[in-house]
Chain A
Amino acid sequence: MKLKRETIYGYLFILPWLVGFLVLVLYPMIQSFYYSLNNMRITPLGLKFIYVGFNNYRDVWLQDMFFITELFSFGVDTLIRIPVIVVFALVIAMLLNQDVKFKGLFRTIFFLPVIVASGPVINQLVDQGATAIPMLDQDVIMSILTSFLPNFFAEVVGNLFNQIITILWYSGVQILLFLASLQKIDPNLYEAAKIDGGSSWECFWKITLPTIKPIILINLVYTLISLANSGQNPIIDLIYANMFNATRGYGFASAMAWMYAVIIALMLLIIFLVFREKKSTRA
């Protein structure tokens, strides 16, 4: 009896979300998959579906000039940006976790980008070159990089310097998450380690890092998702453009969105596999 009542109330409370999920997530997902298998033409009588099987998927890879190049540059970009953002957020969080004066002020500054950084604002700033550190001379960096790195890779890293501020601007939430978890570590733990002769360096690897490992995973995932869905992402623009393209339309755009989703899912999977909690060592 008790259990049944709980069931009713439980479902009652989550009902809005449940309806929303079915109507606005699951159903559109199925529909979008269906779209992707069809060629959609807009006729005077409304939309016309022509079943084409997996042709759209093939065309995404073979016919679209931009998709593969954009996807590749997105992949390389993301693989470099994620570690930079997460490591950087961790460093800042650890600095702020020290006993520093004006901690509040610094936190306010580091969190500011979360508030103001929206697509158009960042675009404007990038246009004006306000996102590169002016003291770093691009040409010098590039010439140093190309001297010991393959050309393609040097370009990617040089690009990183060029965009360094926008990249750092993506780390506000991550800093807060790290900071909150660092503050939860029992200071006695460090004290005990110090008494046993552990250096700060050892404390970091043996105490700090293992404790915040779950947060590292959360931050990696969060960073990937926010980069993947950000308005600066050219693939998203590409999908949007194809959606309203007369010769391609929804079907092609859907196929592209699905392929993109698969790539993101693969990246997530890699992150999970690398950073999953190893149960056997914990037990």
Chain B
Amino acid sequence: MSAKNATSVVTILKNDTLNTKQKLRLIKLRMEHFFLGFNDRKGFLLKFVIYTLLLGIGFVYLYPILYMFVTSMKSLNDLLDTAINWIPSSVYMTNYKQAYEVLNVRPALLGSLQIALFPTILQVMIASLVGYGFSRFDFPLKKFWFGLMIFSFIVPPQITMMPTYRLFSDLGLTGSILAFIIPAGLGQGLNSTIFILIFYQFFKQTPKSLYEAAEVDGASQFTNFFKIAIPMAVPAFIVSFLFSFVWYWNETYLTSLYLTSSSTDITTILLQLQSFSQNYETLYPATEAGPNKINEGIKMAGTMVSILPLLITYFFLQRYFVESVDNTGITGE
């Protein structure tokens, strides 16, 4: 655009039929159009502001992750050297090696995966059922139950936490993955309300006549659900699955309540990160010489390792996350 503008400025200057005053006026107009825009086209200035803002805010968003990444690569000397800010003097991987051991990565990853995957599968299945029930059928007290469902999202989990914890420990469920699976199977998993609402919105958008036609052809309600509703709701399933997975993966309050307060082998990567410093000290006890003291580099390496699985998943599936809200019509009327 600027090149085109420049050439047009040159042609104006070369045009002999115009006098200097006219030329100046035309050039001024061109410049105004270029900088301030006209009609629908945005001016250069506005564009400049928009991109500057986006880049600036984008940097602020990425800053902690960049910082984490860079710090995790620094050796102790680099950390102490104030001249080294963004580029470590060498690629130093020992931090990662130590963090890998401290985090107990293999069992922790397995635990995280278990705790994220199985409740998620159940949660999404149940949410689709319940969402379908609320959107398709009219039954007495429907509004009442629907209101209570939204209400249950607002109730602080701390209120129900203690009795539920007692109930689960009486039933011997604490310390096992069942403490997560059972609530998920009863539509009370993490943020269940949101998933039910996603499915509710989604199923409401599908035309009722479709189901009625199938009913005329002798389909039962369950065939309707499995053969019509589910295949149409694939985007909603993907979104719910991804979000639920991420939320379960990142959950630490419930996991520390159910898993650390009772003896169990299951651990998650974030629980390991939570007790990173203690674990480090037991694994690398500080000696008289004291070279083993924990430093920021190692901590950041640990944090990096713990978010890496999600980061990788996100870069492959980010399209589904980011476009999800449009697809499912969460914001619909």
Closest to B61 in A: A109
Any B CB within 8 A of the CB of A246: no
Any A CB within 8 A of the CB of B71: yes
> Inside 8 A of B187's CB, which chain A residues have their CB?
16-17, 20-21
- In the assembled complex, how far is the CB of residue B212 from the closest CB belonging to chain A, in whole angstroms? 12
Does A20 lie within 8 Å of B139, measured CB to CB? Answer: no
Does A231 lie within 8 Å of B65, measured CB to CB? Answer: no
> Inside 8 A of A104's CB, which chain B residues have their CB?
319, 322
- Complex Cα distance A183/B325, Å? 11
Does A118 lie within 8 Å of B64, measured CB to CB? Answer: no
Does A10 lie within 8 Å of B149, measured CB to CB? Answer: no
Main secondary structure of the interface of B (DSSP, over half): helix
> Inside 8 A of B325's CB, which chain A residues have their CB?
176-177, 179-180
- In the assembled complex, how far is the CB of residue A204 from the closest CB belonging to chain B, in whole angstroms? 14
- Complex Cα distance A17/B64, Å? 39
- In the assembled complex, how far is the CB of residue B247 from the closest CB belonging to chain A, in whole angstroms? 9
> Which residues of chain A (102-149) have a CB below 8 Å from chain B?
104, 106-121, 123-125, 127-128, 130-131, 133
Of the candidates B61, B161, B167, which one forms a contact with A168 in the assembled complex, judged by CB atoms under 8 Å apart?
A: B61
> Inside 8 A of B139's CB, which chain A residues have their CB?
6-7, 10-11
Does B163 lie within 8 Å of A10, measured CB to CB? Answer: no
Any A CB within 8 A of the CB of B133: yes
- In the assembled complex, how far is the CB of residue B125 from the closest CB belonging to chain A, in whole angstroms? 9
Any B CB within 8 A of the CB of A260: yes
- Complex Cα distance A154/B331, Å? 37
> Inside 8 A of A27's CB, which chain B residues have their CB?
163
> Inside 8 A of A23's CB, which chain B residues have their CB?
186
Does B253 lie within 8 Å of A231, measured CB to CB? Answer: yes
- In the assembled complex, how far is the CB of residue A233 from the closest CB belonging to chain B, in whole angstroms? 10
Does A108 lie within 8 Å of B63, measured CB to CB? Answer: no
Does B167 lie within 8 Å of A28, measured CB to CB? Answer: yes
Instruction: Given A21-B152, A95-B54, A229-B157, decide whether A165 and B64 contact each other with a Cβ distance below 8 A.
Output: yes
Does A35 lie within 8 Å of B50, measured CB to CB? Answer: no
Of the candidates B188, B276, B299, B300, which one forms a contact with A24 in the assembled complex, judged by CB atoms under 8 Å apart?
A: B188
> Residues 236-257 of chain B: 1 if any A CB is under 8 Å from the residue's CB, otherwise 0?
0000000000100111110001
Does B60 lie within 8 Å of A215, measured CB to CB? Answer: no
- Complex Cα distance A175/B322, Å? 10
Does A225 lie within 8 Å of B153, measured CB to CB? Answer: yes
Closest to A7 in B: B139
- Complex Cα distance A184/B110, Å? 42
- Complex Cα distance A127/B294, Å? 13
> Residues 30-52 of chain B: 1 if any A CB is under 8 Å from the residue's CB, otherwise 0?
00000000000010000000110
- Complex Cα distance A36/B229, Å? 45
Please give the number of chain A residues whose Cβ is less than 8 angstroms from any Cβ of chain B in the complex: 89
Does B307 lie within 8 Å of A111, measured CB to CB? Answer: no
> Residues 201-245 of chain B: 1 if any A CB is under 8 Å from the residue's CB, otherwise 0?
000000000000000000001000100000000000000000000
Of the candidates B65, B126, B257, B306, which one forms a contact with A17 in the assembled complex, judged by CB atoms under 8 Å apart?
A: B126
Does A14 lie within 8 Å of B65, measured CB to CB? Answer: no
> Residues 141-166 of chain B: 1 if any A CB is under 8 Å from the residue's CB, otherwise 0?
01001001100111111111111101
- Complex Cα distance A98/B50, Å? 9
Any B CB within 8 A of the CB of A169: yes
Does A236 lie within 8 Å of B50, measured CB to CB? Answer: no
Does A24 lie within 8 Å of B159, measured CB to CB? Answer: no
Closest to B148 in A: A21
Does A125 lie within 8 Å of B303, measured CB to CB? Answer: yes
Does B159 lie within 8 Å of A124, measured CB to CB? Answer: no
Of the candidates B130, B161, B307, B314, which one forms a contact with A121 in the assembled complex, judged by CB atoms under 8 Å apart?
A: B307
> Inside 8 A of A95's CB, which chain B residues have their CB?
50, 53-54
- In the assembled complex, how far is the CB of residue A208 from the closest CB belonging to chain B, in whole angstroms? 14
> Which residues of chain B (62-89) have a CB below 8 Å from chain A?
62-65, 67-68, 71
> Inside 8 A of A118's CB, which chain B residues have their CB?
249-252, 270
Does A258 lie within 8 Å of B159, measured CB to CB? Answer: yes
> Residues 256-278 of chain B: 1 if any A CB is under 8 Å from the residue's CB, otherwise 0?
01000100000000110110100
A56-64, A69-77, A249-257, A275-283: which one contacts chain B? A249-257
Does A92 lie within 8 Å of B149, measured CB to CB? Answer: no
Does B322 lie within 8 Å of A261, measured CB to CB? Answer: no
The 3 closest A-B pairs by CB, nearest first: A13-B133, A20-B186, A10-B137
**21 CB < 8 A contacts A-B:** A9-B133, A9-B221, A13-B133, A14-B129, A14-B134, A17-B196, A20-B186, A24-B186, A24-B188, A110-B57, A112-B314, A118-B249, A119-B252, A121-B303, A124-B273, A124-B302, A165-B63, A169-B64, A228-B156, A257-B162, A261-B159
